[in-house]
Amino acid sequence: MPPEDRRPLENVVILGSGCAGLTAAIYAARANLEPLVVMGVEMGGQLSLTTDVENYPGFPEGVQGPELIDLMRRQAERFGARFAYGDATAADLSERPFIIEIEGEPVRTKALIVCSGASARMLGIPGEKRLLGHGVSTCATCDGAFFRDQEVIVVGGGDSAMEEAIFLTRFASRVYVVHRREALRASKIMQDRAFANEKIEFLWNTHVVEVLGDPEVEAVRLWNSESDEKREIPIDGVFIAIGHVPNTEIFERQLPLDAQGYLVLKEAGRSLTEVDGVFAGGDVHDHFYRQAVTAAAAGCRAAMDCEKYLERVGEAPETSAAHSATPSGGGGLAGTMRAVVKVGDEGGREGTELRDVPIPEPGPGEARLKVLACAICGSDRHIWHWDESVQDLVDPPRVYGHEFCGEIDAVGASPGRDDLAPGAYASAEMHVTCGTCRQCRAGQGHVCARTEIIGFHRDGTFAEYVVVPTRNVVILDRQVVPPKVGAFLDALGNAVHTVQDHDLTGASVAILGYGPIGAMAAAIAEHERASRIYVLDVSEAAIEQAERWKAERSAHQVTVLKTGRDVAGEVETRILDETVGGVDLVLEMSGAAAAINQGLRLARMGGSMSLLGLPTDEAVTIERFAHDLVFKGLTLNAIIGRRIFSTWERMLALLASGLDVTSLVTHEHESLEAFPEAMEAFDSHEALKTVLYPNGQNGQRNGR
């Protein structure tokens, strides 16, 4: 028997994660088919690149494209759909089971649903490919904000081009629409909107023949086909919106394609292709409607046809294991694990349960780790209380928690990650990059508005096992990073991010808020030999914890000050006098408006300020920000934009050089059963950093 025949056999693989693919996943998952969804290089499809969607049923006020995609993905995941990050790079449909290669790794499947959509068409001109991601873009939604107060061009004359141009006027000072004809192809309503926008100027009968610049776009070379005039114009960004090419390359000579490369179906109104067991839905075959709602309908048809096909050939599964945090009733039976689960809309103990849930299985591009240690953080507190800020992110039932370290237990097909051997000691970045924005496409993974968070959007780490993307896994040295510290590396990464661009040697630092991340930032500043470290908080408990840490470290350069409305002026005067005009770096951790305003006052001319919290009221005004940013010349930093992988490199280097944060762990618990008490201690500020050991400190709970 060939080696690949011993690989797990999927019921159905769905290629694509747009409207069609996710709808197919919802229907297939509800039919107990446990579909494996291959996300593709354009995760979320074209809809994830769209701003306001006003014509999708059920959203009278409209909905953002990425938000709609996220809702559909979470719905599919709730019913048991699994997701593989990467692209389908090859397919063999000559016999069943079919073989689909995901980033070069073969996966066997009984059936295949192709919803791979269509990708943006490029101009094919000099400089375009070289400068893609460096000023050339196919997505205004992703990249528009990078061109604030700059001049850009949009190439194209259809609805997509008009939508891109109108969106870009939110940021750019001028938008040129370059169209090769003398009339637009866009719908009348989109034309009217574009013509009415004073920021948009049209260049008719004009072609872009070259993009110029190094290393960023600096200009474009244009040719007017009517006058034969050639000229160069300086420009900062080039947005290409000239249509799409169906993603069907891997099916050439295996499935019928039309002259434009779209899949040809056997009959109208169905999803069947010429190969029995292969189905299609969405823009991969539809070059007429190309709407989100028609793509969703096509995905539904494909899943239903697939279900009937598997029943007809006698390969439909009778039952299906759940892939979400649902009760198993197993009470420690094989195949289950203990986990802390957010179960409903109530806060506190009533809305959280310790349950036996199925042990998750890693798919392609994923690894399962036995959790050795996990830690409670402020985000978990929001879920515990079921704050309004997390209700749109977390879909109960959900295993939550997103700080941990563990040992690799199983790995799905993951090209390039041969280091992920069973038993390896590791942790993982808990933010899953979107893969679609400018920075991500350039290989600079960062936190953005589209980033998924493990423990929010998918099951987290308060469990005996957790599944994470292999690209996020970081191998650790246990001698440098013991489990007690490995449990909260994600939080430590946030602290490292706040100071990543600063040389703290000899610098003055003010830390506003001595919670867990504030405490870690103080430890980093002390380790990096900052000359003065001011720790400010309004809480007596936090002040006591800071004083204990200062005494333990004999950190004479640290000054701990209780602030608040009555003493804020006195505290600020003291700091401004001692630093002769203000501190070099302010780290604001709470999001409290009073603290943000205080930080603005404490920063010196030309200093920096990092924000980890979100303002909780409107007491921080744009006038205040503008005054201090402009007239003080401050540099502002925030968690959105955190450079994920360089942050880990800096963090591990600090730990290897002797950064000591073990004293910040004030409470430890031998099992998940202690979670409610641990959370309440954390919530009351009795605990600074709390670590739990789901499998016991020896990692052998229940014989696992």
User: Bridge-partner residues for 665, per DSSP?
Assistant: 689
| β-pairing verdict for 603-611 and 635-638 | parallel
H, E, C per residue of 307-376: HHHHHHCCCCCCCCCCCCCCCCCCCCCCCEEEEEEECCCCCHHHHEEEEEEECCCCCCCEEEEEEEEEEC
User: How far does the chain reach from its first CA to its final CA, in angstroms?
Assistant: 32
User: What's the angle, vertex CA 192, arms to CA 187 and CA 198, rounded to 5?
Assistant: 135
Taking a C-beta distance cutoff of 8 angstroms, is the pair 642, 612 a contact?
no
Looking at residue 439, its pLDDT comes to 57
For 611-621, what is the mean pLDDT?
A: 60
Burial (CB count within 10 angstroms: exposed 0-12, middle 13-18, buried 19+), residue 624: middle
Active site residue 143: yes
Spatial separation of the C-alpha atoms in residues 447 and 467, rounded to whole Å? 20
Model confidence pLDDT, tens digit, residues 494-539: 888 877 667 889 999 999 988 888 999 999 999 999 999 999 999 8
Burial of 314 (0-12, 13-18, 19+ CB in 10 A): exposed
242-299 pLDDT, tens per residue?
977 899 999 999 999 998 899 999 988 889 999 999 999 999 998 777 788 999 999 9
Predicted confidence at residue 327, as pLDDT, reads 33
The pLDDT tens digits for 57-67 are 999 988 888 88
What was the pLDDT predicted at 97? 95
Tell me the two tokens of residue 197.
Answer: 């926008």
For tokens 């049209």, the residue is 202
Strand order across the 230-234 sheet = 206-212, 219-224, 230-234
- What is the structure's pLDDT at 325? 35
Number of residues that this document lists for the chain? 704
pLDDT(614) > 60: no
Residue 652 has pLDDT above 60, yes or no: yes
Rounded-to-integer distance, Cα 438 and Cα 458, Å? 24
Phi and psi (nearest 5°) for 284? -65, -20
Residue 447 pLDDT grade (very low, low, confident, very high; cuts 50, 70, 90): low
Task: Determine contact, residues 281/26, Cβ cutoff 8 Å.
Answer: no
Q: E strands, 61-205, where?
A: 63-64, 82-84, 88-92, 98-102, 105-114, 118-120, 136-137, 151-155, 174-178, 200-203
Q: What are phi and psi of 107, to 5 degrees?
A: -130, 130
Q: What pLDDT is stored for residue 564 in this prediction?
A: 85
Which distant-in-sequence residues (6+ apart) come within 8 Å of 459 by Cβ?
Answer: 324, 325, 339, 360, 398, 399, 466, 467
Q: What is the pLDDT of residue 26?
A: 96
CA distance 431 to 454: 7
Q: What is the pLDDT of residue 698?
A: 59
**What's the pLDDT score for residue 2?**
44
**CA contacts within 13 A on the Cβ side of 64:** 9
Q: Is 142 a catalytic residue?
A: yes
Interatomic CA distance for residues 166 and 196, integer angstroms:
10
Q: Looking at residue 639, what is its pLDDT?
A: 62
Residue 445 predicted with pLDDT over 80:
no
Per residue, the 3-state secondary structure of 236-300, as one string, reads: CEEEECCCEEECCHHHCCCCCECCCCCECCCCCCCCECCCCCEEECCCCCCCCCCCHHHHHHHHH
In tens, the pLDDT along 150-188 reads: 999 999 999 889 999 999 999 999 999 999 999 998 999
Q: Which two tokens stand for residue 200?
A: 């948009």
Provide the pairing of β-strand 452-453 with 431-432. Answer: antiparallel
DSSP letter for 6, please: G
Q: For 26-78, how does the pLDDT look when each residue is reduced to its tens digit (9 = 90+)?
A: 999 999 999 999 988 777 777 776 666 778 899 998 888 888 988 999 899 88
Q: Whole-angstrom Cα distance, residue 347 to residue 560?
A: 34
- Which is higher by pLDDT, 484 or 436? 484
Say how far apart CA 608 and CA 510 lie, in whole Å. Answer: 11
* Phi, psi torsion values for 313, nearest 5 degrees: -90, 5
pLDDT above 90 coverage of the chain, percent: 53
What is the Cβ-side half-sphere exposure of residue 437, based on CA atoms within 13 angstroms?
A: 21
Does residue 451 surpass a pLDDT of 80? no
Residue 333: per-residue pLDDT: 31
Element (H, E) at 140: helix 140-143
> What type of residue is 547?
E
Write down the pLDDT at residue 209.
96
Asked whether the beta carbons of 116 and 40 are under 8 A apart, the reply is yes
Of 19, 142, 405, 434, which residue is the catalytic one?
Answer: 142
Directed axis angle between helix 159-168 and helix 188-195, to 10°? 30
Q: Looking at residue 253, what is its pLDDT?
A: 92
pLDDT tier for residue 629 given thresholds of 50, 70 and 90: low
Residue 226 is given by DSSP the state: T
Lowest mean per-residue pLDDT among 463-467, 625-629, 654-658: 625-629
Cβ neighbours around 26 below 10 Å, total: 23
How would residue 80 be classed by pLDDT, with cut points 50, 70 and 90?
A: confident
CA 560-562-566 angle, to 5 degrees, is 150
Whole-number Å distance between alpha carbons of 424 and 408:
5
CB atoms within 10 A of CB 479: 7
Among 175-179, 208-212, 389-393, 694-698, whose mean pLDDT is lowest? 694-698
Q: What is the pLDDT of residue 53?
A: 76
User: CA-CA distance, 287 to 437, in Å (whole number)?
Assistant: 25
The answer for residues whose C-beta is within 8 angstroms of residue 207's C-beta and 6 or more apart is: 178, 180, 222, 223, 224, 225
What's residue 49's pLDDT? 61
Residue 184: partners with Cβ closer than 8 Å, 6 or more residues away? 157, 158, 162, 191, 194
d(CA 30, CA 28): 5
pLDDT mean across residues, the chain: 86
d(CA 614, CA 588) in angstroms, rounded, equals 10
- Average pLDDT, stretch 544-569? 90
d(CA 142, CA 480): 38
Q: How many CB atoms lie within 10 A of CB 426?
A: 24
> Which residue(s) pair with 132 in the sheet?
136
CB 158 within 8 A of CB 185: yes
- Catalytic residue, candidates 87, 143, 380, 584: 143
Euclidean distance between CA atoms 269 and 301, whole angstroms:
8
* pLDDT of 121 over the 80 cut: yes
CA separation for the pair 445, 154 (Å, rounded): 26
| Phi, psi for residue 194 in degrees, rounded to 5 | -70, -45
The reply to whether omega before 397 is within 30° of 0 (cis) is yes
- Residue 622 pLDDT > 60, yes or no? no
Please determine, for residue 323, whether its predicted confidence score (pLDDT) is greater than 70: no
Side-chain-facing half-sphere of 432: CA atoms under 13 Å: 22
* Res 486 pLDDT > 50: yes
What are 570-612's pLDDT values in tens digits?
999 999 999 999 999 999 887 777 888 888 889 999 888 888 7
Model pTM above 0.85 = no
In this prediction, residue 686 carries a pLDDT of 87
Position 221 pLDDT exceeds 90: yes
Which member of 19, 139, 437, 440 is catalytic? 139
Percentage of the chain lying above the pLDDT 70 cut:
88
